[in-house]
Amino acid sequence: MLRIKRVPTVLSNYQKEESEDAGATGGCGRNCMRDCCLPGAKLPLYAFRKSDKVESSDKKEPPFAFLDSLLLGEWEDRVERGLFRYDVTACETKVIPGDYGFVAQLNEGRHLKKRPTEFRVDKVLQPFDRSKFNFTKVGQEEILFQFESSEDDEVKFYPNAPVNINNSPSVVAINVSPIEYGHVLLIPRILECLPQRIDHESFLLALYMASEAGNPYFRVGYNSLGAFATINHLHFQAYYLAVTFPIEKAPTRKITDFNGGVVISEILKYPVRGLVFEGGYSLEDLSNVVSDSCMCLQDNNIPYNVLISDSGRRIFLLPQCYAEKQALGEVSSELLDTQVNPAVWEISGHMVLKRKEDYDGASEENAWRLLAEVSLSEERFQEVIAIIFEAISCAVVVTEAGSLGDEDELRDVEDVDQVRDVDGSGSHKAGIVAGKQECMVQH
């Protein structure tokens, strides 16, 4: 098992409110990521090489180990500079006995020091609100590096690169309320102030980050609004945890080989129902199918979480309804009293617990009971699958119909007609009409 070096975290009063006195750093005095402080600013830049293949074993060796040398080195530097709200390395952690090996962490202070949610939890898509907290308000010292594709298709690192205000950079920043060692945020096109919603470009960037890391213990996660994202500014999370997540151990059942070589499966024998996406002839093929599925959920106001696993080769998509059940009074007081908001990490099996009694009494049964409340019912899950497959079938037709003419190529698109028949009833089969920019659902 990979051993991760852990260092004591220096506590700080990081992230002052704007009402506090400005310092002597110029601009607004907070050295933030806005127009007042950005002119002339410089930050490290990691330029990654875009890969044509999902399998990255043929990549050229980068000039240094990306995660170990850059991300973790910069993260530990911020530890020493006192930019975190609490010492995450002091949190007790244990693997819960059982078949799946759920991981429990006792983090009694996180919910008290974490920024509160400032938006509605019943709307997955909400406009960006500059008056609310967003990542342009953080100090530049919290940004570890810019993360952009290389112009000449070679991995490069620039320790002091200008911030191009006219071409909004994507950045990697510390999470000041960390769950684990190396907990960071990937913020695509930070200056564009995008709301928390996945698009093709941002999701592909997250896959490149996972792929570039090349470490199975480094996972990237995403929470939509309504699925316990707490900030409505587009971001992904990532951190190290040197164990296999329980969801990664769950068996799956293949549903279909989709367009572009992507395999879509259903998670089995796990408390939260979801889909798994793997394969693809390129990273972009895999990214497009998953991001189309996420965009479908967004458009239908279905909260969801995403886990990017196995260095970007395996992606879990998990629609959920816990916040909805909370609002309807359908969650037991016993579970509510734990104050656990099951987002992507909890759903994946890393249970961040806020009370000592819950940590001491942690069991696989208790973890299963909580996560079962997160999951859609079987009936609703099948309905959501049908909606997703209708949407991604449409996306295939719109993308391919204008350019495909060969019968063999069209046959790949027509295979989508075989996407779903899990219960043997023939229900929820999504199909497309090859060569036309339209789609249908067959019942």
**What angle do the packed helices 283-299 and 378-400 form, to 10 degrees?**
120
Q: Which residue has the tokens 């940590």?
A: 359
**Torsion 190-194-197-200 (CA) sign:** negative
Give the single-character DSSP code of 253. E
Tokens of 213: 């890391």
CA of 433: how far to CAs of 67, 408, 430, 440, in Å?
45, 15, 11, 8
Cβ contact 86:177 at 8 Å: yes
First to last CA, the chain: 48
CB atoms under 10 Å from CB of 424, counted, come to 6
Cβ contact 314:244 at 8 Å: no
Pairing of strands 184-187, 304-309: unpaired
**Torsion 292-262-317-420 (CA) sign:** positive
Residue 287 and residue 196: Cα distance in Å, rounded? 17
Cβ contact 431:442 at 8 Å: yes
Our CA dihedral for 252, 257, 261, 264, rounded to 10 degrees, sits at: -30
| 235 tagged catalytic | yes
Q: Which residue has the tokens 């945890």?
A: 241
Catalytic residue among 111, 200, 233, 235: 235
DSSP H/E element including 336 = helix 333-336
CB atoms under 10 Å from CB of 347, counted, come to 30
Kindly list the catalytic residues.
235
